[in-house]
Every structure is written in structure tokens, then in C-alpha cells.
Homo-oligomer: A and B are copies of this chain.
Amino acid sequence: MKRIEVALVPQLYSLSHPREPFIVVLIDILRATTSVCAALHNGVRAIIPVATLEEARVYKERGFMVAAEREGIKPDFADMGNSAFNFMTPQVVGREIVYSTTNGTQAFELVKNEADIALGAFVNLSALAEWLMSIDKHVLMLCSGWKGHFNLEDTVFAGALADKLLASGRFEIKSDASHAAIDLWSLARNDLMGYLAKAEHRERLRRLGLDDVLEFTFTIDACPVVPLGRKGIIKRAEDFE
């Protein structure tokens, strides 16, 4: 039986490791992992996550396309912010894009020394679940949260993914964090947008005028793709083979 573990916030990541071999599923629904799914599904060739804006600027000077965001705001030097819609234009097809966000790429830094990191979002739920069923690894889901705080949208997604994996009969859960995530998903699943209306970060995006992408964000299976991070670069899983 393969084990599912859930780290509800990055601070719990190192405590939550199942036994080897395991794969990390990085979750940052608003907005990094949703945007990366949109990008790769739209034909972006690769995403290069960087932790700091300084690194992003160096890449920009070397001619890379840069997507970046801090506190929801795009820095001047960046080509685009981190709305999923920015990654769905004809201009990005076939490109490598350097990407730095408040939470998502910070969480990526935390796990970048793991062998493989899959990225999860509602938009790739089923594709990711099927891929995880097909490999022989335990699954450790890492919710990015918001500046170290627990958030509902990442947790509810972890519950959705755990629920799908359990249904395959090939996975088991033991931890209370996994139970809680699944139970919150059970409350949210019939009206995901409605349930997550109370989420703090959704309200934060609304105040910043960045909530245009919410309906897309909560459209399950809109982007059937499995983004995989390996040695600092994120590509479709099949493009590593």
C-alpha cells in the first residue's frame, strides 16, 4: 500500500515525510501551481522557478521571459505577473519562462533537492491523480499556505487529490492532517467556489483586483497535464522521458 501524507503548511514539511521512495506534490492553488498547469498545457516548454526577484532580474538581463509577483503585484522588470491568463497567450508557446512568486516558488525552494516534484491544482486534478497511481511512490503533499499560514484552498485541493488516490485502492492514509483535508474537501466539493468564498487569500486577491482568474482556478480538469520539477526545471512529465 502506498502512503499519502499531507503537510498543511511548509513548517510541517520536514515532519511529514513518509518512508522512501516518495514524491512531493507541491500545491499553491492561488496561484503558482494553477498558473504552471495553464502554461504547460498551453504549450510553454519549461518553467524555471527562482526564489528571489534578484535572480529573476539576472535571467531577464540574459534574455529570458520573466513572470513574477510579490504581494500580488508584478515588479516593473517582469514581462508578466502570475495570473494563469498571462501564461495562455500565443506569445508564450514554446518558451522557457523564469518564474518567481511570493509563496509558490518559495515552497519550491524548500523541496528542490527532492528528486521529483509534481505540481497540483484543481485544473489538473485527474491527470495528476492518474499519474501518481501509475508510479511506485508514496505521496507527500505540500500545501504552500500564505506566508506560513494555513490556507483553505490548498488544503481542500490536498483533500480532493487524496480522495481520488484512496478511491483507486492503492493508497492509504494514517495522519490526522490527511483526514482533515479529505473532510474539508467533502464539504467543499459540491460548490467549490461558494465554499472557498470565505478563504482569506481569495479576499486578498479581490482587493487587489486579481480575482478574474478564480473561475478558471476552480475548474476541475481544465488543464490535463502533469508538471514535474526535476533539477530546477519544470516540464510536462512526458517531456523528461
* Protomer copies: 2
Which residues of chain B are near A222, meaning CB under 8 Å?
none
From the candidates B176, B184, B187, name the one contacting A200 in the complex (CB within 8 A): B176
Q: Determine whether A115 belongs to the interface, using a CB cutoff of 8 Å to chain B.
A: no
Which single residue of chain B is at the shortest CB-CB distance from A151? B176
Asked if A199 lies at the interface with its beta carbon under 8 angstroms from chain B, I say yes
- State how many residues of chain A have any CB contact under 8 Å with chain B: 27
Q: Which residues of B contact A147 (CB under 8 A)?
A: 15
CB of A150 within 8 A of CB of B199, answer no
Please tell me if the beta carbons of B155 and A179 are within 8 angstroms of each other in the complex: no
Q: How far is the CA of A186 from the CA of B186 in the complex (A)?
A: 12
Complex CA–CA separation, A12 to B200 (angstroms): 17
> B180 contacts A15, CB within 8 Å?
no
CB atoms of B198 and A150 under 8 A apart? no
Expressed in whole angstroms, the Cα–Cα distance for A148 and B15 within the complex equals: 8
Residue of B nearest to A155 (CB): B180
CA distance A180 to B195 in the complex (A): 11
Contacts of A9 in B (CB 8 A): 9, 11-12
Return chain B residues, CB-CB under 8 Å to A12.
9, 11, 148-150
The B-contacting residues of A in range 178-198, CB under 8 angstroms, are 179-180, 183-184, 186-187, 198
Q: Is A8 an interface residue (CB 8 A)?
A: yes
Query: Does A152 reach chain B (CB closer than 8 Å)?
Result: yes
Does residue A89 face the partner (Cβ distance < 8 Å to B)? no
> How far apart sit A71 and B171, CA to CA, in the bound complex (Å)?
28
Query: A1-20, CB under 8 A of B: which get 1 and which 0?
Result: 00000001101100110000
The answer to whether A175 and B155 touch (CB under 8 A), given A11-B12, A183-B184, A184-B184, is: no
- A residues sitting closer than 8 Å to B (CB atoms) are 8-9, 11-12, 15-16, 147-152, 155, 174-177, 179-180, 183-184, 186-187, 198-201
8 A-B residue pairs with Cβ-Cβ distance under 8 Å, sorted by A, are A12-B148, A12-B149, A15-B149, A149-B175, A151-B176, A174-B200, A176-B199, A187-B187
